[in-house]
Amino acid sequence: MRTNKRLTFGICGTYLEHYSAVKLFLSADGNGGRESDSILPRSPLRVKPKSVSICFKNNRLLAQRRRVFSCTAIYNPQFQIKEEGQPETLDYRVFFLDNSGKKISPWHDIPLHLGDGMFNFIVEIPKESSAKMEVATDELYTPIKQDTKKGKLRYYPYNINWNYGLLPQTWEDPSSANAEVEGAFGDNDPVDVVEIGENRAKIGQVLKVKPLAALAMIDEGELDWKIVAISLDDPKAPLVNDVDDVEKHFPGTLTAIRDWFRDYKIPDGKPANKFGLGNKPANKDYALKVITETNESWAKLVKRSIPGGELSLV
């Protein structure tokens, strides 16, 4: 029977007023352990992360200071991904598993909010690729798969130039008309994200992002929001906090995103998509409003306050 126990508490930074929450590491043996909710700095860190290691020995309390982790690894999602089948086949699926190996839904079980205006973003389509990957909202545990049409795999006519995916725990309600966007109804899917950072992500990767703008795309009469965001790990992330910053530090990107989504169906003989809100990107506050409203719609969906039709709620 072990008589000596060590509890390790890790606190990133030294001034708690800079944080909206505290990250707590607990370990029974000093070799790492469970993590609590993440911390999110309100201002840039100016000190190296440290921790206080608290040891109990013979009912005496001993304390010492030592470094235990870096602030770049604050959020460690408790899941794994598992591929089934071969990529670019009809059977290919990317499932999400918890630490016990049980399947979970990336749409329903991964949290949306990280606090302080930051969110989890699930990558479906890595930048510079064309396979139309998406969460299968009508399949058990909603794995990521390649979309099909008439039994054939779907591809964009050209590569998408940004990481593309969804915000978990959001839903665009097809029974709700948006008076601000030509009365268009939701497209029955989670909210889409266009992540503009420099790194190419992987299918199933979860990134911490901050929203910067919103585009109100209208696809065959359905409202299909595109939230423009940036990964917190991107070198330019501290420089961009709203729509005007995007134009300053990523000149031409917002126009390129709008034009890409406007035109990508034209090679298939379909008309160009339209955009509401004056054909312009809305600012960060509006993007946060969209996220809040669609998160509320998702909550009603999973509580079955709104009919889900063929959607999987597991």
What integer pLDDT is reported at residue 65 of this predicted model? 35
* Range in 10-24, 115-129, 175-189, 249-263 the model is least confident about: 10-24
Structure tokens at 141: 């545990």
What distance in Å separates the CA atoms of residue 125 and residue 204, rounded to the nearest whole number? 9
Confidence of residue 78 (pLDDT cuts 50, 70, 90): confident
pLDDT for position 120:
98
Is residue 30 a contact partner of residue 6, using CB atoms and an 8 Å limit? yes
156 as an active site residue: the answer is: yes
Question: pLDDT for 28-70, tens place per residue?
Answer: 333 434 333 333 333 333 333 333 333 333 333 333 333 332 3
The more confident residue out of 135 and 13 is 135
pLDDT digits (tens, 9 = 90+) for 284-313: 999 999 999 999 999 999 999 999 999 999
pLDDT-wise least confident of 62-66, 94-98, 245-249: 62-66
3-state secondary structure string, the chain?
A: CCCCEEEEEEECCCCHHHECCCCCEECCECCCCEECCCCCECCCCCCCCEEEEEEEECCEEEEEEECCCCHHHCCCCCCEEEEECCCCCCCCEEEEECCCCCEECCCCCCCCEEECCEEEEEEEECCCEEECEEECCCCCCCCEEECEECCEECEEEEEECCEEEECCCCCCCCCCEECCCCCEEECCCCCEEEECCCCCCCCCCEEEEEEEEEEEEEECCEEEEEEEEEECCCCCHHHCCCHHHHHHHCCCHHHHHHHHHHHCCHHHCCCCCEECHHHCCECHHHHHHHHHHHHHHHHHHHCCCCCCCCCCCC
User: Rounded mean pLDDT of 153-179?
Assistant: 98
| pLDDT greater than 80 at residue 149 | yes
The predicted model scores a pTM of: 0.77
Q: 133: which 2 tokens?
A: 């990957």
pLDDT at 123 over 50: yes
Assign 77 a pLDDT band (cuts: 50, 70, 90): low
Mean pLDDT along residues 145-161: 97
**pLDDT number for residue 90:** 98
Catalytic residue among 15, 75, 92, 156: 156
Overall average pLDDT of the 227-239 stretch? 98
Average pLDDT value for residue range 264-271: 95
pLDDT at residue 200 tops 80:
yes
What is the pLDDT confidence band of residue 152, given thresholds at 50, 70 and 90? very high
pLDDT at 242 > cutoff 80: yes
Share of the chain above pLDDT 70, in %: 75
| Domains of the chain and CATH, by start | 112-132+147-303 (3.90.80.10)
313 close to 301: Cβ distance less than 8 angstroms: yes
